[in-house]
Amino acid sequence: MSFFGRTVSIRHLGRMVLIYAGAFMCGYVANWLRLPLAWMIGPMLFAVAFRLSGQDLQVPVVSRQLGQILIAASVGLAFTSDALSAMGSLIVPMIVAAIMTIIFAFIVGAFIKVAAKVDVVTATLAALPTGPVESVSISLKHGVNPAPVLFTQTFRIMSLVSLIPPVIVALDGSVTDPTAVLRNTVWTPSGSLLLFALAVCGVVVAKLIRLSNPFFLGPLGATVIASVLEAPVTGYPYPVLVTAQVFLGVFIGGAFDRAVLRQLGRFIPVSIAAAFLMAFLCALLGIAFVYWTGHSWQVMILATAPGSATEMALTAKILQQGLAIVTAFHVLRIFVILPTAPFVIGVTAKLAAYFERKKAEQGA
């Protein structure tokens, strides 16, 4: 049987159905507990537990891509012409936030290098918020073990998704039902179909011009244009957004591997500490931006969070605060960090090799 472009057995298909059934059940429980992003956090924790129990979690990569397409397109609708005009004064803070994130990554990387006793490239790649796929690709080019990098990147994303939305919503205190905004989205069949069609076109264009993260940036760009031009598009019905969150949650949680965790050993506590240190530094930056920009602390902390653009944007949507601003901060940072990451790591590797040679020469 062909499924998502690959041949799978009935047994494998049945296994995927059971996995997603378990994920939806955990999402339901999280939703009952009134957690924000319940349908992402619940399935993510389910997938982590499933993987740590030693089970194989094979879900199609297209599930993550579809989840990103649906969420990105929904977020893009917030970019009205008025919202874009209001963000003109924020371009400098956005650039500063991207640069400061890179500086923070070097600080956290230095901590990882000293605490875990790893090489400079591994430490820097683990700290720089590029994303698991991109960071592993760069690590392989430089001949370093990708396992520590993959774990740190994945744990950072998981901790951001699991902690920042619930904490911010709880401290905000204005949201009694975290699902209300998403559940009450105005939509029509034709408007939703047109939105999805434009999002897919955005993916195609983004892949043609080789954009990083085309399944987020492509749909986002296409729907921003549609929103500004007041095209007859609408959001998606709530069950579609729930399914998108479940797909993303399962894929994120499924990145954990018990065999990899065994080989990492003492690197794990260092990696966990590094993730929280990065989040703390970025949160301080967000608080500083409150005084600079005049926007609320909720918006600025979401905007400066070190990664998880999709999830931070969804949280802003739940809070009904600064959705376009949060998304714009993350998009600009993606465009700054992802294309320059190979160059940054390459220069870092050369400098590290140079100082190692100097040290060896002085020792001789």
- pLDDT confidence of residue 4: 46
Instruction: Dump pLDDT digits (tens) for 223-258.
Output: 989 988 889 999 899 999 999 999 988 988 887 777
Q: Is the pLDDT of residue 339 over 50?
A: yes
Which token pair is 175? 């949201």
As a whole number of angstroms, the distance between CA 203 and CA 124 comes to 30
For range 146-166, the mean pLDDT: 87
Which token pair is 98? 């991207």
What is the reported pTM?
0.83
Instruction: Dump pLDDT digits (tens) for 278-309.
Output: 999 999 999 999 999 999 999 999 999 998 88
For range 76-98, the mean pLDDT: 84
- Output 20 or 147, whichever has higher pLDDT: 20
Q: Is residue 239 classed exposed, middle or buried when 0-12, 13-18 and 19+ CB atoms within 10 A define those classes?
A: exposed
Comparing CA positions, the residue from 10, 72, 97 lying closest to residue 213 is: 72
In degrees, to the nearest 5, what angle opens at C-alpha 310 toward C-alphas 42 and 181? Answer: 70
- pLDDT confidence of residue 11: 73
Q: Is the pLDDT of residue 1 over 60?
A: no
- pLDDT confidence of residue 364: 55
Rounded to the nearest integer, the mean pLDDT of the chain is 86
End-to-end CA distance of the chain: 65
Longest CA–CA separation in the chain, Å:
75
Which token pair is 201? 């076109």
> Which of 3.90.70, 1.10.3470, 1.20.1530, 1.10.287 would CATH assign to domain 2-357?
1.20.1530
Q: Would you say 126 and 109 are in contact if contact means Cβ atoms under 8 Å apart?
A: yes
Which token pair is 66? 């579809």
Q: Is the pLDDT of residue 203 over 90?
A: yes
